[in-house]
Amino acid sequence: MMRRITILFISAFLFHSCAKEEDKTAQRFQGEALGTTYMVQYFSKKDLDFDNAMDSIMNAVNTSMSTYSTKSDISRINRGDTTVQVDEHFLKVFKASERIYKESNGFFDPTVGVLVNAYGFGPGKQLKEIDSISLDSLNKLVGFDKLGLRSNNTITKEDPSIYLDFNAIAKGYAIDMIGEYLESHKVRNYLIELGGELLAKGKNMENDSEWIVGIDDPMQEQGHRSLYAKVKLENSAMATSGNYRKYRVDSLTGQRFVHTVNPLTGKAERSNLLSASVLAENCMMADGYATAFMALGLERSKEMLGRIDGVEVYMIYSGENGEVKAYATPGFEKQLLE
């Protein structure tokens, strides 16, 4: 899967606040979860048992969908266990993945990991050489439509060796779960960040302003963080996907490009799309769409956007002469700060 881009919190300008004094005190938590870091900021008069709630949420996600845990449901399914009855968390992510798979015409595909690893783009073992025979063999293991869901919540696979990985959407789902916990305790103003994915509700009560976040500059030097854009996040989720730190430069044109795997052909293709940031109602869908757009590339992403609703996107890409450009849908454009 493609590397996630870290999104920074930006301090907003101070505004006069009419909120009660006790509402303006932020509760802040940060730590590690799902192999990455998280930061949560919320405003509440009550003291919430947030640490225990966070542990419970992460345990539920890991038990259901962690490929790093050999005892998780998804790991057992990947080993060919057909008796696993998946839980509500798995079902929600499975159905969301199926929806985006269909909407993207197969470019978002949680079974593509075997190809990603084969080309050396993922954490698994790279093949020394990919010929037509090995590619044909790998392609038989790729395709979300080769999976099925029985009425008793067990998963079917056309081939027992098909490997399922929800890494491109599970973090977003975990963020939504954290948001649901906060809202169940009547928290209306919060910002959640997990591995660069975000969910914001209400506003920053300390400044009496909207939440402001940033998108990394693709041309930033290693170890020096700079921003390409600042975004107002209002009752929305935002997820960013990209692999611009692995880009190559065309020696003739200067154009930057990355390699992405086409799940339909199994071949690695050049793409000038460096990152895609997505605004959506929930973080699970934003997470999945961001990955889909990176796999589709700039032009195919624009075509897909014409077929779906409720999604806004900001895509950074490399022009023909190597210049870095951005494309924003009208809804995303409205959320950008000068």
Q: Does 291 appear as a known binding residue?
A: yes
Q: Which helix (H) or strand (E) holds 138?
A: helix 132-139
User: What tokens were used for 320?
Assistant: 């023909």
User: What tokens were used for 136?
Assistant: 């044909």
User: What tokens were used for 224?
Assistant: 């020096």
Q: Does 168 appear as a known binding residue?
A: yes
Q: Are 276 and 168 in contact (CB under 8 A)?
A: no
Q: What is the DSSP letter of 244?
A: G
Q: Are 116 and 168 in contact (CB under 8 A)?
A: no
Helix (H, G, I), strand (E, B) or coil at 296: helix
Backbone phi, psi, residue 229, to 5°: -155, 155
- Name the β-bridge partners of 241: 4, 276
Burial 200-222 (b: 16+ CB within 10 A, else e): bbbbbbbbebbbbbbbbbbeeee
Q: Are 62 and 72 in contact (CB under 8 A)?
A: yes
CA torsion, ordered 92, 97, 103, 104, to nearest 10 deg: 160
Nearest alpha-carbon partner for 314 in 334, 300, 288: 334
Binding residues for Mg(2+): 168, 287, 291
Binding residues: 168, 287, 291
